[in-house]
């Protein structure tokens, strides 16, 4: 991307994942990134590992930045950060918030309602090139201001803010469901008698191949299930037991519980 200074307020795990991916994908250079954090050990780690600027003051980082990433906890003092931003940042500098549960309206109250504000729910697959981040914009922000930066750590889906909680519980928490399914499937292979390494390799290969088949054919999963299962065959017997286990409804309840918890966190803020 063109020379843009990105200033991170907060250098925790998610901020590090975003920085790591952007540098690895050459969408940002280390000298385009500055970070401040109350934890000196985190700053030292980020400086040593990624060569980003962690030595400048908050005031300098804000004054030089075209994008300011708010990467703190919801319970941190956002009002105080807002005062610093409004005092030292350029009026056109874009706020990118990854703070869970804090709405665009609340962010506008802290950082200036007429400033470009982008609320981002980052994906957790930053190092893979897969996974969508959910993004909502206020009326002063547009995609061109942030898209190059956001694409540095995955794909992007732009959403009405009303969908953000759903996206968090379904999309961002999504890898949890996949990891748990694969773990359970591997255990099933071991239970049936396969060595764990073989069961692991088969599960991963089947997962990747099934996703590729869906993408390549454009078919609905039910259509592929029909193709893959002969009457009275092995696969149908396995699916029958899976249906009896309440698998689909259990997964759906899990997603709804995650969405509900996301909404609760927002209300608490």
**Binding site as annotated, residues for NADP(+):** 9-14, 71-74
Would you say 149 and 19 are in contact if contact means Cβ atoms under 8 Å apart?
A: no
Would you say 153 and 17 are in contact if contact means Cβ atoms under 8 Å apart?
A: yes
Would you say 36 and 54 are in contact if contact means Cβ atoms under 8 Å apart?
A: yes
Strand partners, 133: 156
Would you say 146 and 123 are in contact if contact means Cβ atoms under 8 Å apart?
A: no
How many alpha carbons lie under 13 Å from residue 108 in its C-beta half-sphere? 13
CA distances 168 to 36, 144, 240, Å, are: 26, 23, 32
The pair phi, psi for residue 199, each rounded to 5°, is: -60, -40
Would you say 118 and 147 are in contact if contact means Cβ atoms under 8 Å apart?
A: no
Would you say 89 and 62 are in contact if contact means Cβ atoms under 8 Å apart?
A: yes
Euclidean distance between CA atoms 158 and 132, whole angstroms = 10
The residues near 221 (Cβ < 8 Å, ≥ 6 apart) are 214
């Amino acid at each position: 991307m063109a020379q843009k200074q990105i200033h991170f307020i907060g250098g925790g795990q998610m901020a590090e994942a975003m920085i790591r991916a952007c540098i690895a994908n050459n969408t940002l250079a280390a000298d385009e990134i500055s970070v401040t954090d109350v934890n000196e050990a985190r700053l030292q780690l980020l400086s040593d590992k990624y060569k980003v600027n962690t030595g400048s003051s908050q005031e300098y980082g804000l004054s030089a930045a075209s994008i300011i990433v708010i990467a703190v906890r919801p319970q941190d003092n956002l009002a105080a950060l807002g005062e610093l931003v409004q005092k030292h940042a350029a009026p056109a500098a874009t706020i990118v918030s990854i703070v869970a549960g804090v709405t665009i309206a609340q962010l506008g109250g802290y950082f200036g309602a007429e400033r470009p504000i982008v609320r981002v729910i980052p994906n957790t697959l930053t190092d893979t090139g897969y996974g969508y981040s959910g993004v909502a914009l206020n009326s002063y922000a547009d995609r061109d201001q942030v898209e190059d930066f956001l694409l540095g750590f995955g794909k992007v889906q732009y959403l009405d803010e009303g969908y953000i909680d759903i996206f968090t519980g379904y999309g961002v928490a999504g890898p949890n469901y996949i990891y748990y399914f694969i773990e359970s499937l591997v255990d099933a292979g071991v239970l049936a008698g396969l060595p764990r390494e073989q069961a692991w390799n088969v599960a991963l290969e089947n997962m990747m191949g099934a996703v590729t088949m869906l993408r390549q054919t454009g078919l609905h999963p039910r259509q592929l299930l029909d193709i893959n299962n002969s009457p009275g065959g092995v696969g149908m017997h396995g699916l029958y037991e899976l249906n009896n286990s309440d698998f689909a409804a259990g997964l759906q309840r899990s997603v709804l519980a995650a969405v509900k918890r996301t909404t609760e966190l927002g209300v608490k803020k």
